[in-house]
Structure formats: structure tokens, C-alpha cells
Structure 1
Amino acid sequence: MIKSILLSVTLVAASASLAIAHDNEALLHAPAGEPYVQVSDVLPLPAFLPGLGTLFVAPDTLPAGPFLAYDHDGKLSATVYMTPLDDLQNGTSYDDLIIGSHEVSSVDIYYNAGHPGVDKPHAHVVLYHDAEAKKRLAK
């Protein structure tokens, strides 16, 4: 009986990890599928933002995101979170945020005074997915 339960748990865990890997694979190249929309299609922003790339976001995850950042070739290069400072100061937590890729080579955190889509002052938390990602998103 215990062996059957352990086998069932193992199979469920393996299936879940395969589903996560599949979902993760689907995000590695632009355009990101539903529920993501290209930010420049819904806000007055350029299609490619130097430093961030071409951004996609699921609208129901705003303001934090994740924003999936793609380079000029459509390769997922970073996952970006935009967390309003006053929300953080007032105790808001952003828990269990998803990431575009499980590989993260470096992280930048910096202040932004606000822009279309996230008008309030906020922090950008940028997870770069490979060593060359920051350079590819720069221009």
C-alpha cells in the first residue's frame, strides 16, 4: 500500500515538473502566448525599450508582473518585476511570482520614477537569464 502511494506521488511530481518545463519552454521565444500581451500594443511605449527589450505581460499580474523581456531576435533575456515603492512601504507582498526561465545569471534592482503602465515610483527587479542578456537588451 505504501509503495503504491509513493509511486503515485512520484508520478504526480514528475508530471508536474514536465508541465512546468513545457510552460517554461513556451516562454523562451517571442511572442509569449496567452495570457501575455505585448506591452507596446496596449501602452504608449516603443516596441523595444533599450535596457529592457520587447516586453510582454499578463494584464492580471500588474503592476508587479512578471514582464517577459525579449531581445531583438525574440529570445527571452530577462524577467522583470515592477514593484511600486509605496505598496511595499504599506506592507504589500508579491508572493510566488513566476519567472520566464529557471536559469538566472544575474539580477539588477533599480529605481524608476514611473512610466505608462506603472505610473507610481517603483523598483525594477531584473533577472537576466544568461551572461549576454544585459548586453543584448542594451540597444
Structure 2
Amino acid sequence: MKPLPLAVAALLLAGSLPALSHDIPAEVAKSPPAGAYKAVSSLVTLPDFLPGLGQLFVDPESLPAGPFLAYDHDGGLVSTIYMIPVEDLNPDTKFEDLAAPGGDVDHVDVYFNAGHPGVEVPHAHVVLWHVPADEEARVAQ
């Protein structure tokens, strides 16, 4: 059995997500989020704000995959991100019931990353956007 291409996996995932309404749960709507989430910049050597992603928070127990919560410069949640190691994208590994702690998902992006502090191995970013595509610029710079 051949692994699904990332784009196909993203489309399947997007089809299983809740309908669009932009309802963001209060405990994660503004940074810092409640619970076990920590600023990624406090865990590894990364800037507080990453252009294209935003300010990231993660429960350290969920590393390396996450979910990571991404916030804009005003502290508003824009996306939930999973960082799935490429070595785990194989027929023997399932990613089921991936949570979207930020609530409803507008659209999904999937792309390759060669590795960075915190997730050093090559991995796929699966970005569950909680804002429309025309609002992604909130984390562009």
C-alpha cells in the first residue's frame, strides 16, 4: 500500500473538519492560551514570532507533532499547526482524529519543512487555518 500524497491527505482531512463559522473557543482565542501550552520560543531557540506562522504555543508533551497554536501580532488565533515527521508518513502510521483546538477550520495548507529547532527532522506542516485565506497576511511579517 502506497502512502497518500500530502495534498490528498490534506483534502481528506479538510473534508472531515467542522463547517465554517469562525467560532474560536475562549481558552485559546487570545495568546497566551490556557492549559499546558507554552510559548515555543521559551522551549527552543526560535524567535517569538515566525513570519508566515505567527507566535507559536504548544503543549510540550505533544511534541514533535503538536498541535501548535499560532497567533497574530495582536494575539488573535489564526491557525492550528501539526508538524508531522516525514519518517512517520508511511503505511504503518495513522493520524486519526487530529484536533483543531482553535475551533472551526476555513482551509488547510500542507507543505514540507526540512527541520528547525523543536522539530529538527524533515516534516510536513499541516496548517488548519481558522481565518479566511485573505487574512493569512496577519502572520506574514
Using structure 2 for the length normalisation, give the TM-score.
0.77
CA contact (8 A) 2:114 2:122 kept: yes
AA of the residue aligned to 1:71? D
Indicate the RMSD between aligned Cα atoms, in angstroms. 1.5
Match of 2:14 in 1: none
Secondary structure of the structure 2 residue equivalent to 1:136: helix
Q: Percentage identity across aligned positions?
A: 51
Match of 2:139 in 1: 137
Structure 2 stretches lacking a partner, 5+ long = 1-23
1:23-65 deviations in Å (ceiling 9; x for gaps): 9321111001220000001100000000000000001111111
CA contact (8 A) 1:83 1:122 kept: yes
Match of 1:96 in 2: 97
Structure 1 stretches lacking a partner, 5+ long = 1-22
CA distance in 1, matches of 2:47, 2:35: 21
CA distance in 2, matches of 1:100, 1:138: 22
Q: Which one is further off, 106-115 or 88-97?
A: 88-97
Secondary structure of the structure 2 residue equivalent to 1:124: strand
How many residues matched?
A: 117
Secondary structure of the structure 2 residue equivalent to 1:115: coil
- Which of the pair has more CA radius of gyration? 1
| Cα drift, residue 90 of structure 1 | 6.2
1:72-120 deviations in Å (ceiling 9; x for gaps): 0000000000000111226222332221322211111000000011111
